[in-house]
């Protein structure tokens, strides 16, 4: 029974991956919108873009990790 509950928990944790996807899309979309408004400033901000994506994605990876832990380690 515990194992089944762990699997359900893993599935719930995996929702976090979708939330991270929303976050990454938000970052990239806003960057694109800003870049189209001011293309000359876009090139200098790609590093910021990647840092932002990395931070947003890290949280999704955390939830993925929680899912994996529930699947395999609990």
Partner 1 sequence: MATDTQSAAEASGPGMPQLDFSTWGNQIFWLVITLVVIYLILSRVALPRIASVLAERQGTITNDIAAAEDLKAKAQEAEAAYDKALIDARAEAGRIVAETKAGIQADLDKAIATADTKIAAKAAEGEKVIAEIRAGALDNVKVVAKDTAKEIVAAMGGKADAKSITAAVTARMKG
Partner 2 sequence: MASEAQGAETGGLEFHPMDQFNIESLFGGPIAWYTPTNAALWMGLAILAVIGLMVLTTTKRSVVPSRGQSVAELAYGFVYKMVEDVSGKDGVVYFPYIMTLFMFIVCANFLGLIPMSFTTTSHFAVTVVLAMAVFLTVTVLGFVKNGTKFLGLFWVSSAPLALRPILAIIEVISYFVRPVSHSIRLAGNVMAGHAVIKVFAGFAAIAVVSPIAIAGIVAMYALEILVSFIQAYVFTILTCVYLKDALHPSH
Kindly write out the interface string for residues 8-47 of this chain, putting x where it contacts partner 2 by CB under 8 A and - elsewhere. ---------------------------------------x
The 10 Å CB-count burial string (b at 16+, else e) for 5-37 is ebeebbeebbebbeebeebbeebeeebeeebee
Footprint of partner 1 on 6-45 (CB under 8 A): 7
Burial class (CB within 10 angstroms; exposed 0-12, middle 13-18, buried 19+) of 69: middle
* 14, interface contact from partner 1, partner 2, none, CB < 5-8 Å by kind: none
Q: Enumerate binding residues for partner 2 (CB under 8 A).
A: 47, 50-51, 53-55, 57-58, 61-62, 64-65, 68, 71-72
């Amino acid at each position: 029974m515990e194992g089944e509950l762990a699997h359900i928990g893993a599935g719930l944790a995996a929702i976090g991956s979708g939330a991270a996807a929303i976050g990454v899309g938000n970052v990239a979309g806003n960057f694109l919108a800003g870049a189209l408004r001011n293309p000359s400033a876009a090139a200098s901000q790609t590093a910021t873009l990647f840092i932002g994506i990395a931070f947003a994605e890290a949280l999704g990876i955390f939830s993925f990790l929680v899912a994996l832990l529930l699947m395999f380690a609990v």
